[in-house]
Homo-oligomer: A and B are copies of this chain.
Amino acid sequence: MNKNRGNGSIVFSKPINIIGTGSIAGHKEAEGPLAKYFDKTTQDALYGQDSFEKAERQLFLEAVKMALKSANLKETDFLVGGDLLNQIISAGFASRELGLPFIGIYGACSTMAESLILGSILVDGGFARDVVCATSSHFATAERQFRFPLELGTPPTPTSQHTVTGSGSAVLSNVDSGIGITCATIGKIVDLGITDANNMGAAMAPAAAQTILTHIQNMAIPPNYYDAIFTGDLGSLGSEILIDLAKKCGTDISDVHQDCGVLIFSGMEEMKCGGSGCGCGASTLCGYIIKEMQKGNFKRILFVATGALHSPTSIQQGESIPGIAHAVEITKE
């Protein structure tokens, strides 16, 4: 059976079930409107550890453990995950504790979608009965690595986004749960020349536009086929750019588009353009979106996580920021 629809789009032979989720978030996220959806929130940015990096891996580890518990499983055949930190140390060290066969990935903030796609491929292809997918981010580790250490007190620029401290994890399985992943589109790199590491939404919006338009074209569906198209972390500026770019290509997604980065810090002006980081889309998906699907408030959604594949080194060498977006369709029976 050919499950490839061309241009990165794939269709699963049957829905790959989401049988468990876990979500955890930090104190800023706990002040936002999605607070009640997270399985756990913490007031402590160090989460009882002696470094922010160790705190982040603990968030990753706990999200996975919560997802396994909610799926009534002690382990899965594979763990597919990654994070923003150099050499994906959050996922790697968490995986050391978990002891599962580990497929490490790097998709920057697109990681949650990438892990769900690979997990679904493993289950659909008969390579796994169940797979746990996860990613995380942390405001303090991301600032230290990508921008300035917090100790400097650098004020955020107007276009900046605040990296979400949090993690999300989902268990995929061939056991029916009523909520499943049905098709997906793996994105290509899109780079329109943004060089400002404090304007990630603008750098990633063109990739989101390309992947969404490719997906709906390949699947021969209109945008309002979905109750909502959730981008991962474009923020408010990136979201505007996405809607403009899609309109210029003749597709209006303004009625159905929502952004996890906008949702998670909605009404919190100090967060500038909103949330970002792998943990933003992951915790919003595994906290808010899937729970609302379970209640029947969304029947069919497209989760489009976007990533910026730059490094501080590439920025210093004058390179622009390549963006990528992967799309995952999730439906409720």
Contacts and interface: CB of A to CB of B under 8 A. Distances in A.
B93 A317 contact: no
A126 B188 contact: no
A99 interface: yes
A278 to B, nearest CB: 12
A106 B100 CA distance: 16
B108 A313 contact: no
A99 to B, nearest CB: 6
Interface in A6-25: 7-8, 10, 13
A100 B322 CA distance: 14
A104 B53 contact: no
Given A104-B106, A104-B114, A105-B104, A3 B126 contact: yes
A95 interface: yes
Contacts of A313: 53, 85-86, 89, 145
A287 interface: no
A96 B53 contact: no
Interface stretch (A29-37, A239-247, A289-297, A304-312): A304-312
A100 B314 contact: no
Contacts of A122: 121
A189 interface: yes
24 contacts: A1-B126, A3-B126, A3-B127, A4-B129, A7-B101, A10-B127, A51-B317, A86-B86, A87-B311, A88-B106, A89-B311, A89-B314, A93-B309, A95-B322, A101-B187, A102-B189, A103-B114, A103-B186, A104-B105, A104-B106, A121-B121, A121-B122, A125-B127, A145-B313
Given A86-B86, A87-B309, A125-B121, A53 B103 contact: no
Contacts of A89: 309-311, 313-314
Interface of A: 1-4, 7-8, 10, 13, 51, 53-54, 77-78, 82, 85-89, 92-93, 95-96, 99-108, 114, 118, 121-122, 124-129, 145, 185-189, 191, 309-314, 317, 319, 322, 324
A95 B53 CA distance: 29
Contacts of A124: 125
Contacts of A4: 77, 126-129
A121 B127 contact: yes
A276 to B, nearest CB: 15
A287 to B, nearest CB: 25
